[in-house]
Amino acid sequence: IKLLWENIDWKFKGQRKTILEGETVADILLILIYTGMRIEELLLTASSDVHLEERYIMNRGTKTENALRIVPIHKDILPILEKRLARNGENLIVTEAGINIEYSNFNNPVFKKFCKAFDLKHSIHETRHSFATYTAHIDSTLRSYMIGHSTGSLTNDVYTHPEVLLPELISEIDKVDFLNAKTVSK
């Protein structure tokens, strides 16, 4: 994570010119780590679903019914999201020209070239593993909700209104010190 923060301005340069030329990568990976979102979910997130002031992303989900959720925004990634929104694209993750980025274009060659440049041996999905690991000590029901996993509870699945949980979700996510890989107390 420290390497990502230190190289947040690293830009993709391909062997031939593509629409992703000059695209940053570390900021996208940080958003994934700090939110627990799947790459497909992030790439499909509409700009209108990002609520910076209220500090949440309305995730429409791509995999299961539990993927539809409110994702709290960690305070440390607010500037990254602001910068992405300033591109004024339909989606949050767009090129500087406002073109939506698709998974196949991002994963190969952009993500792979980033990994090669820094001698990293990771997959994009590992960002979810990082989120799950770093949030292991927060409330398990809230953690399951944040990552989009089923809690297995009828009460939580049917009767809980996530918008009521938003202050608690934000409080819990802000306890996590991702840079130093630990959970901090209130």
The strand pairing partners of 94, in sequence order, are: 100
Q: What is the mean pLDDT of residues 165-182?
A: 85
Distance CA 88, CA 48 (A): 10
Q: Helix, strand or coil for residue 96?
A: coil
pTM: 0.86
- For 111-170, the pLDDT digits (tens) are 999 999 999 999 999 999 898 889 888 887 787 778 776 654 434 444 455 566 788 889
Report the pLDDT value the prediction gives residue 68, as an integer from 0 to 100.
74
- For 74-110, the pLDDT digits (tens) are 999 999 999 999 999 999 999 988 899 988 888 888 9
Residue with tokens 């940053």: 24
- For 43-59, the pLDDT digits (tens) are 999 999 999 999 999 98
- Structural contact between residues 90 and 47, judged by C-beta atoms closer than 8 angstroms: yes
Distance CA 106, CA 91 (A): 15
Report the pLDDT value the prediction gives residue 158, as an integer from 0 to 100.
42
Report the pLDDT value the prediction gives residue 82, as an integer from 0 to 100.
97
Distances (CA, A) of 163 to 58, 71, 149, 170: 10, 10, 17, 11
- Strands (DSSP E) found in the chain: 50-51, 56-59, 69-72, 176-177, 182-183
- For 21-40, the pLDDT digits (tens) are 989 999 999 999 999 999 99
The alpha-carbon radius of gyration of the chain (Å, integer) is: 16
Instruction: Indicate if the pLDDT at residue 66 is higher than 80.
Output: no
